[in-house]
Amino acid sequence: MTHCTPLVSTIFFFLLLLGATEMGPTMVVEARICEYQSQLFRGPCVSETNCGNVCYNEGFTGGRCRNLLLKCYCTKPC
């Protein structure tokens, strides 16, 4: 029985290795986000929902309020 334990351990190791290679590589890629000041947003930016809607109408993917001046900045992947 003592000769069987290393064999079982070796087989188990290779099965784990085979399972890990079958899953394939996983890559986490984080896209860079570019920001541009909105050309159509008027007034102080106090609602990111409103800012995002205006930016969406300008062709961007979203928007957020920034700065102490409460400006609306539109965002999109670079």
pLDDT at 21: 46
Q: Tell me if residue 18 falls in helix, strand or coil.
A: helix
Q: How far apart are CA 69 and CA 40, in angstroms?
A: 16
CA 68 to chain CA centroid, Å, is 27
pLDDT digits (tens, 9 = 90+) for 19-69: 544 455 556 667 899 999 999 999 999 999 999 999 999 999 999 999 888
Query: Looking at domain 4-77, which CATH architecture does it have?
Result: 2-Layer Sandwich (3.30)
CA distances from 69 to 37, 44, 51, 53 (A): 12, 7, 14, 19
Instruction: Report the DSSP beta bridge partners of residue 37.
Output: 73
Supply φ then ψ for residue 71, to 5 degrees: -95, 150
